[in-house]
Structure 1
């Protein structure tokens, strides 16, 4: 039986129930064969499409990243296709399989759950892929410097005289949240101030969860004069809870966000935040994918530098 016939049987293009086809499928099962969809697509030629998988597009950070990746793709006459996962491992795997069936030339992922087998599978199959904003530490990645960004945000609040600073963070499985917690702690350590773990809260990166966690802090009568929120969306949720409890920003509580999404400067009190160069991160993603396709063997991480942007939600402690 020819290679082409075997290929047609295994990739579903030939659904024959003939004895020959059944023997092919049985042999493949016994050998533990897994079809390399990407390699199959490469044999048919590039499609000039890049797949992006994000938790949700209601997360403005992910929406901004998608827009910048789309722009970077357009500059190279490519098309970016986005899929959402809602932080579900099963949904990520399904999205990857669907995008590969559409023969994308590479994948960009913003998920890095420790138990997620998807990225390991992509490495095994040799599928060009890059982790963006978050990383599992083994694949190529285009990131912002989360430790430095959080350090800048927290140091800004410390320099204003605040000593009790709440942290509204993302989930512990996200490398970005871990990095921002590390930067928050580093700034405290360098200032000689002990971190109070009771002021630290984790969220699922949604505005509603930030509002809820800030509400818990307030209900517990925690004493703090400032808050570092690990994204601008989390800052919006935290500010909503503060104002709902009769606290003024920044008069009662100073707040710093992260990412500098477009909305940040247009809030009723423009948000102090940390700006991330999403355009640079997007370009780095595509460059890393090109290097993989070209056969670069080493793993690379490209880190973009953050910048503190001071606006109206922070002031000196009184």
Structure 2
């Protein structure tokens, strides 16, 4: 019969070493002495060495036996730690990982996450900045549990919920000729402006969305420059280098000589989507939906909750 070393054999061996007696070890382990002796003999046979000095009273280990004992104690200790941590993670610490596009931090996402933390104190909540496109792949691979983005990216494995449409604004330098019209401006009025778009990668992204909006109006702006992120774009606008289209929530970014004016076209909107796996109907996701609409109610934002009820939002 082939012998396979298991953790229990290490426990038997450690007990014999520490009790310095097969009889006392058998009593400690609540097993009979003959089976214990056989297990130790099998262990020695598997290793091909003697672990105990025969005939010694009290029982003593050989040099190899002492070496094996020290490592057996470490292995058993590690096994207990793994067992304990696995139970703790499984019973206590559940994690919800959220992917988000950076611009949403200037809107209501921080308030939503904070409320979710307060209402679900048993959860560990992690936030990871990533593009909408990367969120879709991360959801499918199980690296995140929910994504917040601005693009209509379709995937049969992902259910996308439109949370609301955010108005777009134009950031300009206070000395810019458009700054005097507090009522706002139109896409057609800024076709020839030096226009900063962000982010510069990866595509598709918010800059892709802005380009599409111009195309929908039959406009073809020539003076476009893509920059890495929204803060850099607005810094350049504040320096008088050009203008930039941003979501309304970005107006919380205040820089000297920088002002924001409304874009009056009816299409000047940026959708905010929440994406989840199609089969995910967990209680945590339902609770997150509730937090989103509680914050919207508190802030007075309009939304259509019917699109998310029972997870029936279109993924097309």
Into which bin does the TM-score normalised by the smaller protein fall?
A: 0.3 to 0.5
TM-score between the two structures when normalised by the length of structure 2: 0.41
Using CA pairs below 8 Å that are at least 6 residues apart, which structure has the higher relative contact order?
2
TM-score between the two structures when normalised by the length of structure 1: 0.41
- Whichever of the two has the greater Rg, that structure is 2
